[in-house]
Structure 1
């Protein structure tokens, strides 16, 4: 089972929140707490991330299977919100196990294969000398030589465990590197999800382009689209209140 964290009142349909590549459940702390005011919210660490298990396989069918087990452990079905890699895993879950997904929210990702790569970030983390590190600011200074963007560094460093002796990444970097092509890709799935689906994108992100809409509508006929102004790819971190409001509005029954 994935490491799973619960908050909010028990009963009713839970909301399952699924983080993206290099993330963890803790990235969603503030948004999850606010959405949990009147419902049960489950956040998870995906396989090879955070405190969840390590596995040599990191395909979307595998990740969707992990999410299915979490839902089955906590009820009959769930609303599912996934971002980036987690959004793809959530889409695959909805397409392959539609009976488990009531409403689907996908954050800034489309059901297509992408041509960019994140291998440079994996390599940057692998090359960072963790010897003797005790403060995140020290790690940030060292990582800045390889990763110039401060926002990206701050995100990656959330997965650095400085309480461990020695310090370690809470990511299975070797597997994520080996599986990167599949993470950026999209499995060949001949099915569709007929439930309500909301695709939220960041105004300043190019992850979801206009030309991706026809394929998205083919797989998710009831898809709705909304753009959050001033947000980039990590739209829930850039504009958390706006993201929360859009998600909450869509989830109202």
Structure 2
């Protein structure tokens, strides 16, 4: 697979890779990544990743967590060389970074998972979003506002509409057209694979921060065993007054928790 597209912020000594959820892009983390950099200007370099089939990264023929993990690992090795690496993933990106360290145990110094568990997740809730995006007549579209109006009934939340429409692009060149930048057909048709968790036989003993949302059901009490079996050195934090997009709902708390965890990881590494 071609190397994934990344956006780099800061020039600190340790690299923090940020991996988004389904229908997202690396740039979704821009605000909290900049806030993390402000907490330790010389400490980090933030690398915002567009995962396969999203943003400006390559498309694939199939959806596969092992393949996505391999692509991320290849990107890390190319981009970070011998620099210390920390991986962070939200939702689908959480499964990608989990699988990445399980398959490549020496790649990263720490792992942060945001509101996702290493279990099969039923993502039927996303089907109406896919239907709403596919219902837009791209050939007849003239403005982005028209697209939003067409989605309004299926997607009543303005925030979610804007999140989805970040993927809608307008080519104003000779062949003027509207198009979805992400691989909507693959992602929409493979929601069961996006929600799946392929079985693994390894564990990862590095430090893990698990951030969950108070108002989300993606990580429940019945998932604790699966989490601790794969990641025995896990620290769990539940953020109040937050939904699935914890970093958007409570950015200040999110960054504070993350900065404290990464600082402890640095101290532990320096003392060895």
SS at 1:154 equivalent:
helix
1:247 aligns with 2:253: no
User: CA RMSD, aligned part only?
Assistant: 1.5
**Which of 74, 87, 94 is the aligned partner of 1:87?**
94
Match of 1:155 in 2: 163
Match of 1:9 in 2: 11
Match of 2:242 in 1: 231
SS at 2:106 equivalent:
helix
1:166 aligns with 2:177: yes
Match of 2:269 in 1: none
Quick check: 2:202–2:230 contact (8 Å CA) kept in 1?
yes
Matches within 5 A, 1:78-157: 78-117=85-124, 118-131=126-139, 133=141, 135-157=143-165
Aligned residues: 252
1:53 aligns with 2:58: yes
Structure 2 gap segments, 5+ residues each = 267-272
**Which of 51, 54, 74 is the aligned partner of 1:69?**
74
TM-score (norm 2): 0.88
Return the offset for 1:138.
Answer: 2.9
TM-score (norm 1): 0.94
Larger radius of gyration: 2
SS at 2:22 equivalent:
coil
Quick check: 2:7–2:27 contact (8 Å CA) kept in 1?
no
CA distance in 1, matches of 2:123, 2:26: 25
Structure 1 gap segments, 5+ residues each = none
Are the structure 2 counterparts of residues 131 and 145 from structure 1 closer, same or farther at C-alpha, using a change threshold of 3 Å?
Answer: farther
